[in-house]
Every structure is written in C-alpha cells, then in structure tokens.
Chains A and B, each alone.
Chain A
Amino acid sequence: MASTETTQAPAEDAGSVEAGLDALETGATGRPSLRQTLTGKVLPPVIAVAVVLVAWTLLYPVVDDPTKLPSPAAVGDAFREAWLKGDLLGYIWTSVSRGLLGFAFALLIGTPLGLLVARVRFVRAAIGPILSGLQSLPSVAWVPPAVIWLGLDNSMMYAVILLGAVPSIANGLVSGVDQVPPLFLRAGRTMGATGVRGVWHVTLPAALPGYVAGLKQGWAFSWRSLMAAEIIASFPDLGVGLGQLLENARTASDMAMVFEAILLILFVGIAIDLLIFSPLERWVLRSRGLLVKG
C-alpha cells in the first residue's frame, strides 16, 4: 500500500511518498511477552529472597542464641500463630488504614500547597526553603510534640504522617512545575490556554511525572512516620498496628515476633508501593514515551 515510485506530479505524489515515509519511520512498538516480564522482573527478586533465607539458615546455628537471632522456622511459626488467631490481618489493617488515610490528607494539603509555592513568587521565597528543609528532618522528631499537643490518639498519628508526607508531595509538585518545558507554555498560550485554563490544561498535566514521583516519596515518608509514631507512642487503646506489634515484641523479649513485625512493616511498605505507586508512575511515564524498555 505504500509505494515510493517517483512521478512528475508533486502534489499527487506527496501522499504516497508520505505514506511510505510514515511506514518506514514508525518503529514497531511491541511489548515484551508476559513470560519475558516474569523471568526478567519476578525471578531475580525471588532468587534474592531465597539467598537471604539460605544465609539466615546457615547463620542461625553459628549465632546459636534465639534471643538474638531466631530461626527462620520460629519466625514462620510467629506468622502462622498470628494468622491462626486471626490477628495478622488486624495488625496490618490498623496500620495500613491509618497510613492511607493520613496520606490522603497529606495529598489534599500538599497539592494546593505545592501549586501555591510553584506559582506564587512571594510564597516560594517565604516557605520554599523551609519546605525542602523539612524533608531532611526525621519525622520521629515530630512524635513528642504531637503527643503533647494532641494526646495519645489517632489524630496524633495523622499529624505525624502529615508532617512527614506533605513536604514531599508539595516539593514533588514544585519540581514538576519547574521542569515544565517553556515551549509547552508558549504553545498553550498561543492556543488560548492562559490563567487558570493554562494551569489546568498545560501546567498540571506537564508536571504530572514530578508530582507522581513526589507522591511515591510521600508514601514512603508517611509509612516511616507512622511506624515511628506507633513504636514511640504505643498505647493499648489505640489498637495494635505493626509499630505497636514491634514494641510489644521488644517488651516481651520475643525475638521471633520482633522479626515478624519488621518483616511485615517492610512487606506492607513494598506492597503498597508495588500495587499503587509504581504502576501509577510507570503508566504516566510510558504514556509519554519516557520509559525506555531495555
């Protein structure tokens, strides 16, 4: 269908030459098969985990002190026991629901804040540096004042999450807006996208990759802040989340349970990232052709 013979009539000929060029220059955009994805992406981490388990099993008799290093089997038993008692999902849910709700609040506050800092020069000069500085402040530092201000309840937990996550989300949006190519803004302006319409149709979508990176980091900060808050401010009435589980295990000198809690905290953090934020980021980048497949 794409012929490229030369004729004397340029106008009629242009269409067929063009079709040929289009066909030649549009590369095949095939995706790797599911099998390739599995062997390329799933197998390596599975092997890594297996290696750690083997090393752990070999190290256990060398240390030979279950109060310092429990056996993999003992930790497995701790998991099974919590599962059979029906507590395991409860621990996870207590923390995850807190974390996600706190993150949702952080999103609602961080987004307009980021937009304000990015767009209003005075606000940027006033709180921009503080906002970036707050990112390097460990959120554990907020736990004592939050306990004093708000008491030992869930609002304290949310406050600590907000203080941890809002700067990341706002900063992500600010850097996203800063990196919007000026050409897009010019193109938008010539089409009549000025003021609020320019922000909505050009600036925000163009800033999305930076914003999503901020969300991803914001979640990591939320989760860390929450765990810090749960470990330090554990109180029976608050319900047992993963942080309290770890603290309870420490007080009971139950090393298998300590390991159980640490592994749960790690896995939940990874799982939320893998299930929500990484797919979101990949989708944003891939749809823009920014994700180059090896």
Chain B
Amino acid sequence: MATTLAKADAGVESAARLEHVSKSFTGPGGRQLVLDDISIDVAPGEFVTLLGASGCGKSTLLNLVAGLDRPTAGSISTDGRPALMFQEHALFPWLTAGKNIELALKLRGVPKSDRRGKAEELLELVRLRGAYGKRVHELSGGMRQRVALARALAQESNLLLMDEPFAALDAITRDVLHDELTRIWQETGLSVLFVTHNVREAVRLAQRVVLLSSRPGRIAREWTVDIPQPRRIEDAPVAELSVEITEVLRGEIRRHGQH
C-alpha cells in the first residue's frame, strides 16, 4: 500500500476529497483492515450520504475526515476544519443551549459582543427561539439534536459531518428533523457528509448515496438521487430507490454469511 499523505492540491474544487484512504487498527486479533481504498469527492454544497451496515467503518471514516484520527494510507483534504455532529447530542450539560453555541463561536474567535446575537440567530434557524437559557436536560431529544446542529453550524465550516445524528430519535421527530436539515442545507449552501445505516433516510436526504461494504469498508456502489426536494420519506420515488439500494446492501451483507 502506497502512503500518499500528499498536501491538498492548490485551489481545491471540493469540500472534501478522500483519495485511496485506508485505515487499519492493530487489535488483539492482529492487524485489522477497516477501510480499504476509499475515494470520495464531496463537491461544495453537495449532500452525500454514506450508507452501510455495521462493521463498514462509517464512523471511522468520519473521524478521519474530521481530523480526529489519521489514515493508514491515502490522503484526505478538506476545506477548513469540518464541523461534526454525533448520534448523541454531545452538548455540554454545564452550559445552557445558548452558551453551548456561544462556546463554539468563542473557540472560533468570534468577539464576545457578537456571540449572543449570533447564537440567537442560529437558534432561530433551528426553530428554537426560546431555548437560549434552557439547560440541556430540559430539552427533548429532538430539540437537543437541533441545538447540536446549531452548535455545529456556529463553526461556520463549509463541511458538516453527521454521524447517524437522528438514529436515536423516534420516527416522528426524525421525520421532522429531515425536513429541517434539508431546509437548512438549502438555506446555507453547506456541504454535508451524512453517515447512516438507514436506507430510506439516505435516499430522503442526499443528492448522492455511497454504499459501503463491510469488513473491510469499501465503496460498493454509488447512486445519484435526482428526486426533487422537498421529498418525504414515504414518497414513491424515494421508496423505489430505497428498495433497489436495499437489495444491493443485502447482497453485500449476505456475502459475509458464506465463506
């Protein structure tokens, strides 16, 4: 495996570019390859979902893109430091909703006098106007994820990484948050790299769906989703494409049962 940890080309045309990225961990069972030769290009303003069953290394891949870990081989370049949203809200319980957002602003170097106003704006964007002074535990699961989204947006990064952010929510709340995320993505022009194991969610949200195989994670196939937004998860075209993708996904999973 050639290690090409090259510097990003000058004048990057993409929000994130992954070139032949591989990652292996040394565990008790020896060296284990988790990601194998992944190349993905996320264009500015593009919404890409990474879809895969467990063991496909989705979270590992996001950690690499977020810069929390380094690839074993290959190169990753992003346009600035990406924002990252987790399955758990990861809001700090010692701060109010508003102060959580302000901390992200502060760490980005926004002057103190501007922070409050910006935080209120961001809360408005996720439709939580009155939540500024609320403690995290006073908010419902859906509200927490919206505050977490506002905090991620506060980083004013061009790339938003989302690691199954709605997986722990109930179906009704998830549905509403899909609408919100689509609206915010369209309003802000962000690039989004969204990881999920939920096929319909992937199709509902993305312009492009990238299917990863498991153990090791490899790109199995890609779909371009040209169903116009706003979509609903129960729309016929969404369902049709989901069925097609699910078939391929099942085939990928089935391979692991037969050695």
Contacts and interface: CB of A to CB of B under 8 A. Distances in A.
Interface in B160-191: 172-173, 176, 179-180, 182-183
A289 B135 contact: yes
Contacts of A15: 127
B143 A22 contact: yes
Interface of A is mostly: helix
A201 interface: yes
Contacts of B82: 190
B216 interface: no
A201 B108 CA distance: 13
B142 A187 contact: no
A144 interface: no
B86 A187 contact: yes
A186 interface: yes
Nearest to B139: A26
A268 B93 CA distance: 33
Interface string A145-179: 00000000000000000000000000000000000
Interface stretch (A94-102, A111-119, A191-199): A191-199
A187 B90 contact: yes
Interface string B105-140: 001100000000000000000011000000111111
Given A18-B127, A18-B180, A289-B135, A186 B68 contact: yes
B137 A190 contact: no
Contacts of B92: 184, 187, 202, 205-206
A42 interface: no
A9 B231 CA distance: 10
A195 B137 CA distance: 28
A46 to B, nearest CB: 32
B155 interface: yes
Interface string A5-25: 000011101110111011001
Interface string A101-126: 00000000000000000000000000
A240 to B, nearest CB: 43
Q: How large is the interface on A (under 10, 10 to 19, 20 to 34, 35 or more residues)?
A: 20 to 34
Contacts, number: 100
Given A186-B68, A289-B135, A25 B94 contact: no
A62 interface: no
A288 interface: yes
A287 B84 contact: no
Given A18-B180, A22-B140, A191 B104 contact: yes
Contacts of A26: 138-140, 143
A208 interface: yes
B81 interface: yes
B141 interface: yes
B8 to A, nearest CB: 19
B232 A10 contact: yes
Contacts of B81: 190, 192
Contacts of B180: 14, 18
A9 to B, nearest CB: 8
B88 interface: yes
A193 B109 CA distance: 12
A25 to B, nearest CB: 3
Given A11-B230, A187-B86, A18 B142 contact: yes
11 contacts: A11-B179, A11-B230, A14-B180, A18-B127, A26-B139, A29-B138, A186-B86, A190-B68, A190-B81, A191-B151, A288-B136
Name the 5 nearest CB pairs between A and B, nearest first: A289-B137, A25-B140, A14-B179, A187-B90, A288-B93
Interface of A: 9-11, 13-15, 17-19, 21-22, 25-26, 29, 183-184, 186-187, 189-193, 197, 201-202, 205-206, 208, 287-290
